[in-house]
Amino acid sequence: MDRTDLDVLVVGAGVSGLTTAVLLAEEGLRVGIWTAEQPQATTSVAAGALWGPYLVEHVDRVAVWSGQTLAVLRELALLPETGVRIVSGIEASRTPVEPPDWGRQLDGFRICVPAELPAGFRVGWRFTVPLVDMPTYLSYLEKRLVSAGGFIEIRRIAALREATAMAPVVVNCAGIGAYELVPDSNLTPIRGQLVVVENPGITEFFSEDTGDSPELVHFYPHIDTVVLGGSAQYGVWSREPDPAIAAGIIARCAAIEPRLRDARVIDHRVGLRPACPRPRVETEVLDGTRVISNYGHGGAGVTLSWGCARDVAAAVRAG
């Protein structure tokens, strides 16, 4: 493809940028991505990633976007190469809380009997849900984009004007990078850290409703590995793994599932959730070019990805 002849230039190759680019390229548009980092170095690769509208305000479109994405992920779970699987497990709380609204959308959602809950927990619910192995999933999306004629170029931009010079439509999927790029001071990073261990035989996920605590507790079994979490530090920009946080994560998860105590550690992942009062999916005109924003998905970027990409595609078509 002649790169000067693009219909749409997407900025960012995390889950938002890749999903949007795939959808547009498969609709027949000439699409390219500029990204500061490889997909495998983005916040998106650090996600757990369980479907669920977490650390995102439950406003207007969030329920629609997450429902649309749930349907797509269920379809993708039929294809092993996507890294998406349907898993069963429990979310529980040590204090009495109401079951989440989004539970109604999930297969087999039911309140747990006390015997199903770990010691010290008061309430919980069991459900089956898509779980996404992000390194595999991002590679899958990248291949799908290339098959549809799109491309990815490693290129950091200092201003959106660099992109608007290249295509009649620019989609800004810069995640927390939009803080400087737009600039958008409504964005705040919520730093998250995970520990990846060898799977000692765990097949079900567990997630604690920890409210506003920065110390999360969850483990997600992928086939050979388990992703343990986590943390949620508001306003923290560091992307370096912190050994003390990692030790705390392992201790908290092992207190629920003792087989995790001595599981071999394979990797540490850190990402910056792009938190915003609400995800920003809207169009403006800059230098005569339409710029469509698609960022600010907080702790739910995977969960909202296909729904938001659909709204972007509709905005592109609206002209």
Q: Give residues in contact with ligand FAD (CB under 6 A).
A: 11-17, 34-37, 42-44, 46-50, 156-157, 173-177, 181, 192, 194, 229-230, 271, 273-274, 295, 297-303
Structure token digits, residue 75: 């379809």
Give the residue with the Cβ less far from ligand FAD, 94 or 239.
239
Q: How far is the CB of 42 from ligand FAD (least distance, A)?
A: 4
Length of the chain as a residue count: 319
Q: How far is the CB of 276 from ligand FAD (least distance, A)?
A: 10
Q: How far is the CB of 137 from ligand FAD (least distance, A)?
A: 11
Give the residue with the Cβ less far from ligand FAD, 44 or 225.
44
Q: How far is the CB of 33 from ligand FAD (least distance, A)?
A: 8
User: CA dihedral defined by 130, 134, 137, 139, rounded to 10 degrees?
Assistant: 180
Can you name the residues that pair with 129 across neighbouring β-strands? 87
Give the residue with the Cβ less far from ligand FAD, 38 or 122.
38
What amino acid is encoded at 290 in this protein?
Answer: R
Give the residue with the Cβ less far from ligand FAD, 113 or 221.
221
CA angle 192, 194, 198 (to 5 degrees): 170
| Token pair 């999903």 in the structure block, residue | 19
* Residue of 155, 175, 172 whose CA lies nearest to 284: 172
Give the residue with the Cβ less far from ligand FAD, 41 or 254.
41
Cβ-proximal residues to 150 (8 Å cutoff; 6+ apart), any chain: 21, 22, 25, 30, 31, 32, 33
* Residue of 135, 141, 113 whose CA lies nearest to 26: 141
Q: How far is the CB of 115 from ligand FAD (least distance, A)?
A: 27
